[in-house]
Amino acid sequence: MNRHVSRRGFLAGFGALGIASTLGACATSTSPRPAAGGASSTGLVLKSRESSDNARKGMQALLDEFAKRHPQYTTTLNTMEAAAFQQQIRADLTLSTPPDVLTWFAGEIASDFAQQGLLLDVTSVFPAQGYSEQFAKLSTDATGKKIFIPTVYYWWGVFYRKSFFDKWGVAEPKTWDEFIALCKTLQGKGVSPLALPLADAAWLTASWFDYLNLRINGADFHRALLAGQEAYTDARVTKVLDTWKEVLPYFDPDSKGLASTEGYAKWQQGKDAMFLCGPFLADAMPADVKDDISFFQFPIVDPAVPVAEEAPLDGFIASAHTANPEGAKAFLGFVATPEAQELYLKISGNALLPANSGAKSPISTPLLEKGRAMVAGAADVTQFFNRDTNDDQLNALTTALVRFIDEPDNGAEIQKQWQSDSAKARGN
Question: How far is residue 98's CA from residue 94's CA, in Å, rounded to a whole number?
Answer: 7
pLDDT at 421 over 70: yes
pTM: 0.83
Max Cα-Cα span within the chain = 67
CATH number for 7-154+311-368: choose from 3.40.190.10, 3.40.50.360, 3.40.50.12780, 3.40.50.720: 3.40.190.10
So what's the pLDDT on residue 41?
Answer: 73
Which residues lie closer than 8 Å to 391 by C-beta, 6 or more apart?
6, 7, 8
Tell me the β-bridge partners of 215: none
pLDDT at 408 over 70: yes
Which residues lie closer than 8 Å to 111 by C-beta, 6 or more apart?
141, 142, 147
Which residues lie closer than 8 Å to 427 by C-beta, 6 or more apart?
none
Q: Which range among 124-128, 162-166, 364-368 shows the weakest confidence by mean pLDDT?
A: 364-368
Q: What percent of the chain has pLDDT over 70?
A: 90
What confidence tier does 23 reach under pLDDT thresholds 50, 70, 90? very low
The larger pLDDT score, comparing residue 221 to residue 84, is at 221
Q: What are phi and psi of 104, to 5 degrees?
A: -165, -165
Q: Return the closest-CA partner of residue 283 out of 163, 195, 194, 159.
A: 159
What does the radius of gyration of the chain's CA atoms come to, in whole angstroms?
A: 21
The domain over range 157-310+390-425 is classified in CATH as 3.40.190.10? yes
Count of alpha carbons within 13 angstroms of residue 375, beta-carbon side: 29
Question: How far is residue 385's CA from residue 109's CA, in Å, rounded to a whole number?
Answer: 11
Question: How far is residue 291's CA from residue 15's CA, in Å, rounded to a whole number?
Answer: 22
The rounded mean pLDDT for the chain is 89
Q: Return the closest-CA partner of residue 415 out of 162, 261, 407, 340.
A: 407
Decide: 386 and 112 in contact? Cβ < 8 Å. Answer: no
What confidence tier does 6 reach under pLDDT thresholds 50, 70, 90? very low
Decide: 252 and 201 in contact? Cβ < 8 Å. Answer: no
Question: How many angstroms separate the Cα of 267 from the Cα of each of 8, 10, 60, 157?
Answer: 22, 18, 36, 15
Q: What are phi and psi of 69, to 5 degrees?
A: -80, -25
Tell me the β-bridge partners of 329: none
Which residues lie closer than 8 Å to 86 by C-beta, 6 or more apart?
8, 49
pLDDT at 390 over 90: no
Q: Return the closest-CA partner of residue 338 out of 152, 158, 179.
A: 152
Quick: pLDDT tens for 261-277. Answer: 999 999 999 999 999 99
The larger pLDDT score, comparing residue 15 to residue 398, is at 398
Core vs surface per residue 350-365: b (16+ CB within 10 A) or e: bbbbbbbeebebbeee
Question: How far is residue 37's CA from residue 55's CA, in Å, rounded to a whole number?
Answer: 22
Quick: pLDDT tens for 319-332. Answer: 999 999 999 999 99
Question: How far is residue 398's CA from residue 220's CA, in Å, rounded to a whole number?
Answer: 22
In 3-state terms the chain splits into helix, strand, coil percentages (rounded to 5) of 50, 15, 35
Helix (H) or strand (E) segment spanning residue 44: strand 43-48
Question: How far is residue 337's CA from residue 332's CA, in Å, rounded to a whole number?
Answer: 9
pLDDT at 75 over 90: yes
C-alpha 124: how far from chain center: 27
Decide: 362 and 346 in contact? Cβ < 8 Å. Answer: yes
List of long-range contacts for 223-232, beta carbons under 8 Å, 24+ apart: 223/382, 223/388, 226/108, 226/385, 226/388, 226/389, 226/393, 227/108, 227/389, 228/422, 228/423, 228/426, 228/428, 231/419, 232/400, 232/415, 232/418, 232/419, 232/422
Domain with CATH 3.40.190.10 in the chain: 7-154+311-368, 157-310+390-425
Tell me the β-bridge partners of 74: 43
Quick: pLDDT tens for 181-190. Answer: 999 999 999 9
Question: How far is residue 390's CA from residue 172's CA, in Å, rounded to a whole number?
Answer: 33
So what's the pLDDT on residue 87?
Answer: 87
So what's the pLDDT on residue 268?
Answer: 96
pLDDT at 234 over 80: yes
Which residues lie closer than 8 Å to 420 by C-beta, 6 or more apart?
none
Instruction: Count CB neighbours of 30 within 10 A.
Output: 9
So what's the pLDDT on residue 40?
Answer: 52
The larger pLDDT score, comparing residue 109 to residue 158, is at 158
